[in-house]
Amino acid sequence: MQRRVLFENVGTRQSPSVCAKVPGVMIDDVQKELVSAIGKAHDALKRELSKLRAGRAHPSLLDGIRVDYYGTVTPLGQMAHINIPEPRLITVKPWDKSAMKGVEKAIREADLGLNPQPDGDIIRVPLPPLTEERRREFVKIARKYGEECKVTIRKARHDALDMLNALEGEVSADLIDRGKKKAEETVAEGSKQVDTSVASKEKDILEV
């Protein structure tokens, strides 16, 4: 009797988040896991896209660079000021001058096709113009990264729906249906963000 009353209360106007736990899983937990998985997929996409050199200089081009700083692998942005004084020039000024050589080495070996040039207490990183063929190649790679991200999101969707289906018979069908609807909306929005990110990167790559 207590169990019946509990689920009747949940099925009225209360949020799915108050439903009783069933084998350690709650409907709101499923949504949180889905959001987390999509967020991680977006972060991975951002990191990959940042490695593709666009036509114009942008600080994000160096986002993936890590520097060996006194034995600690440190993100470049956490140990240097990055500036864009010209459309095709990035300047990097390490806060610790003793890190100059390490920063220069990290940029040179980052497989970005960049040639850092020390100049006093800063490092100049000129961006050579991209050929049309190279631009098209980068656009294809960006789209490939986008599709890979969507595959990850679809897998997260499949996992979320499986978890919701596992609650059948324990949680009201109405709550499960609402959970599925919310999951589909979350996935649709996540995929839309992927398209937006890739389109933005394509624009940057093709900009002369």
pLDDT in the model for residue 10? 34
Whether residue 121 sits in one domain with residue 167: no
pLDDT in the model for residue 61? 82
Do 163 and 25 form a contact (C-beta atoms < 8 A)? yes
Whether residue 146 sits in one domain with residue 117: no
**Domain ranges, residue 148:** 2-49+132-206
How many domains does the chain divide into?
Answer: 2
Do 197 and 49 form a contact (C-beta atoms < 8 A)? yes
Residue 72 above 70 pLDDT?
A: yes
Q: Among the three residues 111, 126, 141, which one is the final residue of a domain in this structure? A: 126
φ, ψ of residue 53 to 5 degrees: the values are -70, 125
The whole-model pTM stands at 0.65
CATH code for the domain in which residue 159 is found:
1.10.132.20
Q: Among the three residues 81, 99, 126, which one is the final residue of a domain in this structure? A: 126
Q: Give residue 51's pLDDT band: very low, low, confident or very high (50, 70, 90).
A: confident
- Beta-bridge partner residues of 22: 25
Whether residue 193 sits in one domain with residue 147: yes
Q: Among the three residues 102, 126, 150, which one is the final residue of a domain in this structure? A: 126
